[in-house]
Amino acid sequence: MGSKVIVVGGGNAALSSAIESAERGNAVILLEASPLHSRGGNSRYTRDIRYAHEEDEFTSGSYPKEELRDDLIGVSGSFDNPEVAELVIGRSQEMAQWMHEHSITFKKEIRGTLNLSRTNAFFMGGGRVLVDTYYKLIQKLGVRVFYDAPASSINISDCRVNSITAFLDGKEQEISADKYIFASGGYEGNKEWLSQFWGEKSRNIKVRGSRFNTGIPLRSLMGSNALMCGVEKAGHMVAVDSRSPEYDAGIVSRIDAIPWGIVVNKNCERFYDEGQDIWPKRYAIWGRLVADQEGQMAYVIVDSKATGKFMPTAYPSIDANSIEDLAGKIGLNADKTARLISDFNNGITKSGEDAFNWSNNGLPVPKSHWALPIDTPPYHAYPLSPGLTFTYQGVRINKTGRIVLKDGELENGFAAGEIASGNVLRSGYLAGFGLTIGTTLGRLAGGWEND
């Protein structure tokens, strides 16, 4: 009959593999590092999936496999593991239907700012509802779930996982099974690990997702000679509000006012073209740009014309009726800031009515689009910090989902989700694809097609 399976992790990938595995009659144990109230890792903060599809009821049109592949290559450059990337792309086609069959409700019509998208489907309630629905489901399927149960090490020899050590019922224990699925996410929540790359700066990086994603199983696999995929140092990093908590602010801390104003650092200097290119693509470079400034801080300044043009923010803007007062409030040199803004305003070239074509290319740091003069009070500022979404590096897997070591493949050790996302996306990110990687690879590890 069924075999004994241990799933390490408690987000979308772990849950998808637990569902798949339990539905195949296996005895599944799931270890979630977090307490019940914050279960679900980064998956808890998601809201949509990107998948290749024909026309369907959850999206506004078809999205062929080829187009999805091109989009992935567009953000990532190339695939580190083309075989697995192809598998994920192909299997993504069945995903929305599978989720739907497993009690996930997709939005069918969206009013307001979000319109039904062609490439992505949005589910009701977002990530917490997603993971809560799956937890309910696996409990019905008889999966034993342990909370506050981080795995601390993986004991591997001769291409086999022999056991894992984990915290269970308040004490460290060694447990073993026939099969192990590692779906414990990246290491974005591990400041010590981040400091290897970022040094002191890592202290000022906000972790947008779960504080429990510390990458311990990943590190343990690295120590056992697992092959790596994905760019080592990099992570997806966007500009977030400096006032947000250090961990777990999810989607709400992001600031996307940048194209509508200018961004200055503590020395009142602009340091990058705020109007460059198309915003969704540029959104992700601002985390790194801010991380390179003194104190990992910057400020975006807009005037009243920008109100309502960008997503509302979780924290109120800092407001003043003159640039000098605003500078005072955010601790910048008033004269320097005023000079910077008047230089900016004076050199703007407006071609046509559409502000997209307004620019100021005469400055040391140009602004190539949306160069709206900052001249209409009240003025608003938001303080910016780098916000890390996730890290890219993970273990290499083969097309059955098994982890690849330097000297062979793990017979009974699988990886799914962000811990293996480097196989598909070596860097960069395509909105909604994190869940797709997790669901497809999770199901694969859980026995979809393998058994």
Partner 1 sequence: MTDENPIVSEAARQMSICNACRYCEGYCAVWNAIEFKPVLDSGYIKHLANLCHDCRDCYYACPYNEPDHEFKLNIPKAMGEVRMETYTSYVRPKFLKFVIEKPALATILASSAAIAVAMLYASLVFGAGKFSTLPMTTVIPASTYKPITMLVYVYTIGIWSWEGISYWSEINGGTHFSGSGLAKGAYDAIFHTNFRGGGTGCKVPEERNRYFRMSAHSLVMFGFIDALVSISFYPDIFGLAGLAYLLGSLAVSTGTAALIYLHMKERVGSRSQKQSSMDYPFTILLFLAGITGVLVPISTGTAWFNWNFLMHDALIAVVFLLAPYSKFVHPVLRIISLIKYNSDSLKQTI
Q: Summarize as ranges the residues that interact with partner 1 (CB under 8 A).
A: 37-38, 40, 44-45, 47, 105, 107-108, 110-114, 124-129, 132, 245, 248-254, 307-308, 311-316
75 versus 252: smaller Cβ distance to partner 1? 252
User: CB 397 → partner 1: shortest distance, Å?
Assistant: 29
Choice between 12 and 440, CB closer to partner 1: 12
Distance, in Å, from the CA atom of 8 to the CA atom of 11, rounded to the nearest integer, reads 10
The site partner of 13 among ligand FAD, partner 1, none (C-beta below 5 to 8 Å per kind) is: ligand FAD
Please choose which of ligand FAD, partner 1, none residue 37 contacts, taking the beta carbon within 5 to 8 angstroms, the exact cut-off set by kind: partner 1
Q: Residue 212 binds which entry of ligand FAD, partner 1, none, with Cβ cut-offs from 5 to 8 Å by kind?
A: ligand FAD
413 binds, among partner 1, ligand FAD, none (CB under 5 to 8 A by kind): none
315 contact choice in partner 1, ligand FAD, none (CB below 5 to 8 Å, kind-dependent): partner 1
Residues 6+ apart with CB under 8 A from 398: 83, 84, 404, 409
Smaller CB separation from ligand FAD, 150 or 386: 150
Q: Which is nearer to partner 1, 245 or 295 (CB)?
A: 245
The minimum distance between CB 295 and partner 1, in angstroms, equals 22
At 231, is the secondary structure helix, strand, or coil?
Answer: coil
Nearer to ligand FAD, 194 or 372 (CB): 194
Question: Coil, strand, or helix at residue 387?
Answer: strand
| Shortest Cβ 7–ligand FAD spacing (Å) | 9
Quickly count helices (H) and strands (E) in the chain: 12, 21
Task: Closer to ligand FAD by CB, 250 or 383: give it.
Answer: 250
Q: Which does 278 bind (CB under 5 to 8 A by kind): ligand FAD, partner 1, none?
A: none
Question: Considering the complex, what minimum distance in angstroms separates the CB of residue 13 from partner 1?
Answer: 18
Q: How many residues does the chain have?
A: 451
Nearest CB to partner 1, comparing residues 249 and 388: 249
Q: Which residues partner with 388 through β-bridges?
A: 207, 237
Local structure of residue 123 (DSSP, 8 states): B
Q: How far is the CB of 121 from partner 1 (least distance, A)?
A: 13
Q: Pick left, alpha or beta for residue 316 (phi over 0 → left; psi -120 to 50 → alpha; otherwise beta).
A: beta
Query: Which of ligand FAD, partner 1, none binds 279 (CB below 5-8 Å, type-dependent)?
Result: none
In order of 63, 92, 93, 110, 325, the CA distances from 54 in angstroms are 6, 12, 8, 20, 55
Q: Find the shortest distance in angstroms from Cβ 127 to ligand FAD.
A: 7
Least distance (Å) between residue 163 CB and ligand FAD? 14
Tell me how far apart the alpha carbons of residues 423 and 416 are, in angstroms, rounded to a whole number.
10
Taking the least distance from each CB to ligand FAD, the nearer of 159 and 431 is: 431
Residue 359 CB, nearest approach to partner 1 (Å) = 26
Contacts of 59 (CB under 8 A, 6+ apart): 53, 116, 117, 118, 119, 120, 121
Encoded amino acid at 122, one letter: F
C-beta of 295 vs 312, nearer to partner 1? 312
Binding site for ligand FAD (CB under 6 A): 8-14, 31-34, 40-43, 45-49, 150-151, 183-185, 208-210, 212-214, 216-217, 250-251, 389-390, 417-418, 432-435, 438
Distances (CA, A) of 65 to 54, 95, 97: 9, 13, 16
Map tokens 């977030």 to a residue. 240
Residue 326 interaction partner, one of ligand FAD, partner 1, none, beta carbon < 5-8 Å per kind: none
Instruction: Quote the longest CA-to-CA distance of the chain.
Output: 77
Q: How far apart are CA 19 and CA 116, in angstroms?
A: 28
Helix (H) or strand (E) holding 328: helix 323-330
Task: Tell me the closest approach of the beta carbon of residue 264 to ligand FAD, in angstroms.
Answer: 26
CA 192 to each of CA 197, 220, 238: distance values in angstroms, whole numbers, following the listed order: 10, 15, 20
Q: Which does 217 bind (CB under 5 to 8 A by kind): partner 1, ligand FAD, none?
A: ligand FAD
Least distance between partner 1 and beta carbon 347 (Å): 29
When the beta carbons of 248 and 303 are compared against ligand FAD, the nearer one is 248
Token pair belonging to 133: 């629905």
Give the helix ranges, DSSP H, for 53-108.
65-76, 82-91, 95-101
Between 110 and 278, CB nearer to partner 1: 110
- Dist. CA 274–CA 257, nearest whole Å: 10
CA 258, 391, 434, 207 torsion-angle sign: negative
SS3 149: coil
Q: How far apart, in whole angstroms, are the C-alpha atoms of residue 385 and residue 196?
A: 19
Least distance CB 299 / partner 1 (angstroms): 18
